[in-house]
Amino acid sequence: MKNLVIVESPAKAKTIEKYLGSDFKVLSSIGHIRSIAKKTKDGTPPIDVKDGFKTIYEIDSEKKKTVAELRKALKVAETVWLATDEDREGEAIAWHLCEVLKLDPTATKRIVFHEITKNAITEAIKHPRTVDMSLVQAQQARQILDRLVGFELSPVVWQKVPGGKSAGRVQSPAVRLLVEREREITAFEGSTTFKVVAEFEAAGMPMKAELPKRFKTEPEAQAFLQTLLNATFSVSDVMTSPSVRNPGPPFTTSTLQQEANSRLGFSAKATMSSAQKLYQEGKITYMRTDSVNLGDEAKNAAASYITGAFGPQYSQIRSFKTKSASAQEAHEAIRPTDIGSERGSSNEYDQKLYDLIRRRTLASQMSPAKLEKTVVTIVISTNSEHFEAKGEVILFDGFLKVYGGSKKDADILPAVSSGDILPLKTANARQIFARPPSRYSEGSLVKKLEDLGIGRPSTYATIINTVQVRGYAEKGEAEGTPRDVIVLNLVNNAVTREVVQEKTGSDRGKLIPTPGGEVLSDFLTDHFEKIVDYDFTARVEQEFDLIADGKLERNAMLQEFYTPFHNLIEQSSDIKRSDVAQAREIGLDPKSGKPILARFGRFGPMLQLGLAEDESDKPRFAPMPANTKIDTVTLEQALVAFTLPRVVGETTDGVTIKANVGRFGPYIQIDKLFVSIKPLDPHTITIEQALELYAAKLKIEAEKNITDFGDGLKVLNGRYGPYITDGVKNAKIPKDIEPKAVTHEQAKELIAAAPAGKKRPIRKTTKSTAVKRSKKRPISPKK
């Protein structure tokens, strides 16, 4: 074997091997092969701060086989080519490969390409370079900093923050953003106005018009509608103005995540997963980029396709300038490798993303859309106010032919002239509520992080995923709650009043900070302000960029960050856990006279009835009522919470049904069976509703049990399909056997052939763990 090419993914290896001849063998490292060691054999720190941040790396246990295969291939190769991704992570993987395989990083051939096509691979082979150590050091700086922050700050969080899991350098500012937005929403003072809309008849067609003025009160709106009863309405002005709408630039990582979230409902993680597959299969260019630039070859290919498909009037070659100072203009935006190919994947989700990328790329090289906006002014004979009807007509669709706007199209108005009298058909004044700031979606949070300079293309999806995995934020599921809306209608020369309902407060798909996220954010803001400071975090990102450009020395940057940070860690021993997320006394229980506290427990906010000091009568606990917080819950709400568990009734065979709220939400309990009742309230669920949910649960359980042979062997319907179990071992059912047709003998044979199940080790209770557990007692409020 003459040439060994090493990439980081098997899919990428498979695609590249198609373009290289028989002289080349392409193998994969399957991502990173080494990580910073958790501990060292001689006891020295894995990151020795005192010795210039010297770092000990170790081969990941699951990569030892991969490394062995690479070493074996290396023995018979004449030339090694490192073809990992062209960003800092890819450069770091190339350096680690040199270290592990004992290759000289100053001599080993390093090739990069922005797309996996035959032409790009061939050109890369012609122009190899060596490992760029500035890029490697920038990646090392980020990795070392994140490890130091995580390893030193997380133990402080565990000790001082109730329910605290960990804290990270970049995800903590993201949590702070969510918390600050949530508090803006809580502090928002709502107001209402009345918007008046009328419908006229013009040239035999209906035409809607709106009053520019809003009324503050219902009586004012009522009085205005009364003035319309005997009025005549005439057109005083028809104003038309041309308008042009230009396309946006092709996608960067950030804008792809935002648009995929907005248009397709994809999470940032799902977007990057699909984009990764499309890149590795050679369908799109590299998906981690902050450049909006397109190469000349790509522009010419787009112009040729657009001219042929839609006509020359639709083609307009454009160049876009990247706003980000750190962006590398030599790189390209995300685009298809073959603009003429409509099909990028057989996978439905990957194809949706490919289609979005392709349309956006085409649109960026197309003519602007030409529109004509029209405003019709309608005066009222009995009033000084006027109505306005607004419409828009697309004269030339331009780029909208392939990438239509996401907003609702404006109305097309009927032809009217100044002086026309318009009969009034209906008019209404509807109560409009001021809207609080909206919660962040994944897409809008990515945009905010980018605007603040926090994170880079390779880290946005990881940041958003981490804050959810750690339990500091969660995606909302609520469709909203109904509210009353006053509507005044003018129909048939009379004004009537009605109250209708509309839903408000939907948070489906939005990121909501959990109580634990709020406590952590407050703790870090109070005691480690720099960790959550937006400007400081952005400046650290800029310093990584300077290291990558060879303009800043790695260790100098690390020392500047670490020294003040470590001083704060050392001072943290003075922080009292009781001062973090303090308990709040709500009032006294009228029956027992005991205090009721709202406090933060291991699994989040909770209520406590009674004090820990009372050894003769232990405190009772209850979950925090829905839509309340420690600082807002009232005594009345708390007293209702302590009425749980509630007996709802009995099943047909006389078993008691109890309703309660647990760690995972509201449920009913029938003997040892627990049934979720989301979104029903355990205080109000009826016996009919409970029996219906119970019956549905029994049906699911029955369907789960396909066959019971009576000796412990069962055929069950599991999460991943039917299987056989004896309670210890599980066995797959061959595809050619119908699960219901499995015989007792077949089941025994399949279980006998199945690998032994792993038994979970029993954790022994030592004296030290027993002492730790005994200390986990309810707390009393701070006096």
Q: What are the catalytic residues?
A: 286
Positive or negative, the Cα torsion across 487, 489, 495, 500? negative
Q: How far apart are CA 517 and CA 174, in angstroms?
A: 10
Distance CA 19, CA 26 (A): 11
d(CA 272, CA 249): 19
What distance in Å separates the CA atoms of residue 434 and residue 189, rounded to the nearest whole number? 9
657 by DSSP, 3-state: which?
Answer: strand
CB 365 within 8 A of CB 315: yes
Q: Which of 675, 723, 727 is nearest to 698 (CA)?
A: 675
Contact call for residues 30 and 62 (beta carbons, < 8 A): no
Among candidate residues 380, 473, 474, 472, the one with its CA nearest the CA of residue 427: 380
Is the separation of the CB atoms in 254 and 435 below 8 Å? Answer: no
Position of tokens 């639709």?
314
Name the H helices within 2-78: 10-19, 64-75
Q: How far is CA 522 from CA 124, 157, 165, 173, in A?
A: 50, 12, 15, 11
- Give the C-alpha separation, 362 to 374, whole Å: 29
* Cα–Cα distance, 207 to 56 (Å, whole number): 73
Cβ pair 513, 173 in contact under 8 A:
no
Query: Are 111 and 82 contacting, i.e. CB atoms less than 8 angstroms apart?
Result: yes
Strand partners, 666: 661
Neighbour count for residue 376 (Cβ, 10 Å)? 26
Which tokens go with 657? 């049904």
Q: b vs e for 166-199, b when ≥16 Cβ sit within 10 Å of the residue's Cβ?
A: bbbbbbbbbbbbbbebbeebeeeeeeebbbbebb
Which residues make beta-bridge pairs with 481? 504
Report the alpha-carbon distance of residue 726 to residue 208 in Å, rounded: 70
How many other β-carbons are positioned within 10 Å of the β-carbon of residue 705?
11
The DSSP output letter for 734 is P
Cβ neighbours of residue 280 closer than 8 Å, sequence gap 6 or more? 9, 11, 12, 15, 116
Report the distance separating Cα 374 and Cα 578, nearest Å: 64
- Cα–Cα nearest to 117, from 284, 354, 300, 303: 284
C-alpha angle 333-543-453 in degrees, rounded to nearest 5: 50
Are the CB atoms for 131 and 95 separated by under 8 Å?
yes
Who's near 119: CB < 8 A, 6+ residues apart? Answer: none
Residue 679, preceding peptide bond in cis (omega within 30° of 0): yes
DSSP summary character for residue 602: T
d(CA 247, CA 363): 6
Q: Is the peptide bond before 312 cis (omega within 30 degrees of 0)?
A: no
Question: What are the CB-based long-range contacts (under 8 Å, 24+) for 465-469?
Answer: 465/267, 465/268, 465/269, 466/168, 466/171, 467/171, 467/174, 467/175, 467/178, 467/511, 467/517, 468/511
694 to 280, 652, 669, 673: CA distances (angstroms): 48, 11, 9, 9
- Helix (H) and strand (E) counts in the chain: 21, 30
